[in-house]
Amino acid sequence: MTHSPAHQQYRELQAGALQIGDFLYLPGEGPAEEIAHIEFEHDDFDVPALVVATTVDGASVRIGVGSIVPVGDAAVVPLNPVFDDVTPDDGDDSAEPVPAVVVPPLPATAPTVSPSAGPTAEQLALIPEPGNTPENLVAAAATAHPGRNGVAVLSERLVKGINTKSGSCLRDLSDLAHDLFIELRDPENALALADILNVLPFDGNRDRWMSVERSLALSSLICRELGQTDRGDVYDQLLRAPEGLETDPFKARIAAKVRQRGLNEPNLYDKEIFRSIDNGNRDAEREWRLLRLEALMFLRSHGGSDTISLDELDNRIHNELEAVRG
């Protein structure tokens, strides 16, 4: 790769590592422009796909997260900000070396909570071994609450056979555990069913993992209410464990940045709840509050965020439980 003298004064950078304050060369010729704002757009799998960079002058450019872009000093005007194609080394010592792509550390918005590598074997021992088969545990929970239609519907499906590779089966288990604890105030049976999910490892399937994640967050809340804080901490670590599996430093930094933004700006369904209250629709309000409760439990398992403290989360979780149970 060869460059003109002007090219020597700027470097290559992956778009996902751009930061506010960097000087970015936009398409075409001209000086580098300072970045004033950065946003990420996700693909259908909720993975960062595009970087939307807005400059101080108001120009906006969309760049693929993994694309290489030229950045440098504001005063440098390149002859052409797009690098030439790579050419084989012809042995000319005067040829300039290919510059290395440098991925800088994240700015001050780095994650508040470090990803967990997972609990130790000693900590995992705090989760008791099941005293029966999963199907029998479901049947026992249903027997403890006769006449409850929601429990009956879910349990009738599950007692026929629990397949932990089935996303719908895992969702039914998670829903049943939530109903037992939230509606029926039965933490023991709820925790016994949740533990069927809690010991499942993350297998890369996000749809299945969502049910496990819900179960882990619920179990952590139940344990705190029962005074089993050490066991609750194990569930929190299991919930966060997949966040530490990415081995590519660049992808890990991007994922951490996106994750922290989600923790700092969670969707707590305020508009939907207020609209339901205004319309006098108690059923809709309750459904939205259940979603808010799940979001709060997820935040609690992450130790809070930069915008919501643990004390505030505990108070809000208590208030939402009272609201949906009332």
Dump pLDDT digits (tens) for 23-78: 888 886 677 888 888 888 877 656 678 888 888 877 888 888 778 888 876 544 44
100: pLDDT confidence band, cut at 50, 70 and 90? very low
pTM: 0.66
* Residue 52: DSSP 8-state: E
Contacts of 115 (CB under 8 A, 6+ apart): 240, 241, 243, 244, 256
Contact of 199 with 183, CB cutoff 8 Å: no
Note the helical H segments in the chain: 121-124, 134-143, 149-158, 167-178, 187-198, 206-226, 229-240, 249-264, 270-278, 282-301, 310-325
Convert the pLDDT of each residue in 182-195 to its tens digit. 999 999 999 999 99
Domains, the chain: 1-104 (2.30.30.30), 121-325 (no CATH)
pLDDT digits (tens, 9 = 90+) for 14-25: 787 888 888 888
Residue of 219, 221, 180, 226 lying closest to 197 (CA atoms):
219
Q: Give me the pLDDT at residue 220, please.
A: 98
Q: What is the DSSP string of 109-159?
A: T--SSPPP----HHHHTTSPPPSS-HHHHHHHHHHTSTT-HHHHHHHHHHT
Percent with pLDDT over 70 in the chain: 81
Residues 6 or more apart whose CB falls under 8 angstroms from that of 312 comprise: 304
pLDDT over 80 (residue 200)? yes
Q: Scanning the structure block, which residue is given the tokens 């940045």?
A: 257
